[in-house]
Structure 1
């Protein structure tokens, strides 16, 4: 594959469309093997190329639906949830939705607050019906509004955003949205453990200032870096996380630390630098993240993989 700089947006779009438009992808009779084969090809391409969403706006939504294995979107089901009106935690939802990505003009132009409220209401109603048959219960928790935002921004309809968001929450990172935010706190502990191995000097410096990941990385772990603008770079990073696993966000946060390492190490009060990360640059962060994976002990990496969803992990 040619490098990102050498590949034109049109050529990238053609490469992605070649995978997406293969006959078996659109066939209802596709086998699990066919689906996995297409996902493997998409993963390889996502690792080397950015999705040229400005050239072909249909690409990212189609790719996300395949990566999340969202095949059926029932308008009737979604409208039934919406028709129930406000859920029991509507006030809590409204306390957060008005400030979701508030400084991003492009997001505000495309995603109205009522769209966020409607999606989150519907999600709570969906899981109100499902709680007896599932080991984990879901309701609205802190940060869920920011996790919903990229889906509403990316998908062509609220219907598709709802089903993609629901699949993402319930299967990719269910422990991140439990009332205790158990997965988030696991991720923060793992961030400290990984950083201690990957950059002992930086880890020791931060600890000498009484700074743990809980203090400086909570927003980035909670929102899978969606709290760090610009949004287009967040979406690029999420292409990678949806392709390879949201657990890698912990290493993406470490990658951002490494990119600002010199400034942090020179700062007498490093929390000033860490309170607001520099603008996100997805490609270098992904490149560093992939390198860091190779430097982790297998047992620690296995813990990292399982921390967003494994109820039995200690």
Structure 2
């Protein structure tokens, strides 16, 4: 191994040690942790994710453990999950099967680890779960377009289908419920916000795209719908999701703008930019996250507040 390679390896090992120190805190203390302690740990995890990223290659157990903490998934009932699975196909099974076979179809590593029947089972169980939870104050959920791609990273990352199911359910129901309503309301809000944010952070690029009749609805729909999981490679998607789970799904809008800025020169030179925008270049999580974080400072407070609320806030005025 070269000197730079060994330095990177020892830095990754040190980062893994830092993460494990935070994750193992409850075990080293005899008394139960207060809510304040838990929040303090989450704050430290977020900071480490932003500064160093999760070194999954050094310790593959880190990402699933951290995702569960960020999503606040504590209880996973095998009995309940098996009860949902035992009910068999849900009423929209055909719709699910129309999508699952093509989920991340070009990713060999994903296909080796996640079989189609695992995806179908998880999505069926999710529909059954919400079939039982139709309450007046509760947004209803069924299977909608894009859910298969949102489920994929959880099945790939988690050590069991059981944990993947509970993480996915918590994520959908609390982090981005409006993204998976039948009208895809949150997705359409996200696309409008993308246009408004782009107009502020890069008026020239925004004006050029508009001169070609290109709004975010036309070129960014898959990236917003799937939180960038439609752009390979998967290892970069997972790194980006570490950031989104730590700081909020709303930042995906700025991550899509960051990808546009990384290809800005080619887009501005192209007489038909849609050709370039139809398939974004391979995802590079670190530069995208770096740009997204700096963009936050450029967004006016009221617009940023709308951005934060758009995946989940039902009562927002249009």
Q: Give me the TM-score of the superposition, normalised by structure 1.
A: 0.96
Describe the shift of the 1:206–1:153 C-alpha distance in structure 2 as closer, same or farther (beyond 3 A). same
Q: Does 1:154 align with 2:157?
A: yes
Aligned to 1:199: 202
Match in the other structure for 2:178: 175
Check the 8 A contact 1:198/1:292 in 2, yes or no: yes
| 1:93 partnered with 2:96 | yes
1:34 Cα deviation from its structure 2 partner: 1.4
Q: CA deviation at 1:33?
A: 1.0
Aligned partner of 2:86 in structure 1 is: 83
Whether the 8 Å CA contact 1:25–1:34 is kept in 2: the answer is no
Unaligned runs of 5+ in 2: 1-6
The whole-number CA distance in structure 1 between the counterparts of 2:32 and 2:276 is: 53
Residue in structure 2 matching 1:47, options 36, 45, 50: 50
Map of 1:268 onto structure 2? 271
Structure 1 residues 227-277: Cα deviation after superposition (integer angstroms, max 9, x where no partner): 000000000000000000000000000000000000000000000000000
Is the partner of 1:132 in helix, strand or coil?
coil
Residues 1:129 and 1:26: Cα distance change in structure 2 (over 3 Å): farther
- 2:11 maps to 1:8: yes
Alignment check: 8 A CA contact 1:70 1:164 kept: yes
**Contact in 1 for aligned 2:26/2:33 (Cα 8 Å):** no
Per the alignment, residue 167 of structure 2 pairs with: 164
**In structure 2, distance between residues paired with 1:66 and 1:134:** 26
Residue range with higher mean Cα deviation, 44-53 or 29-38: 29-38
Q: Summarize the Cα distance change of 1:205–1:65 in structure 2 as closer, same or farther, 3 Å threshold.
A: same
- Residues of 2 paired with 1:131 and 1:7: CA distance? 51
Paired residue for 2:313?
A: 310
Per-residue CA distance 1:199-232 (angstroms, 9 max, x = gap): 0000000000000000000000000000000000
Match of 1:301 among 301, 304, 310: 304
| C-alpha deviation, 1:24, in angstroms | 6.0
- Answer yes or no: is 1:185 the counterpart of 2:188: yes
Deviation at 1:10, TM superposition (A): 1.1
Q: For the Cα contact (< 8 Å) 1:234–1:282, is it kept in 2?
A: yes
State the aligned residue count: 311
- The aligned counterpart of 2:62 is 59
Structure 1 residues 25 and 36: alpha-carbon distance in aligned structure 2, compared to 1, 3 A threshold: farther
CA contact (8 A) 1:198 1:295 kept: yes
Cα contact 1:233–1:280 (8 A) shared by 2: yes
Moved over 4 A (4+): 4-7, 24-28
1:7 Cα offset (Å)? 5.9
The structural deviation recorded for 1:25 is 8.9
Pair 1:281–1:26, CA change in 2 (3 A): farther
Counterpart Cα distance in 2 of 1:85 and 1:66: 30
Contact 1:25-1:35 within 8 A present in 2 as well = no
Q: 1:166 and 1:14, CA in 2 relative to 1: closer, same or farther beyond 3 A?
A: same
- CA deviation string 1:21-49 (max 9, x = no partner): 11269989322111111100000000011
Q: Could you tell me how far apart the structure 1 residues matched to 2:313 and 2:30 are? A: 33
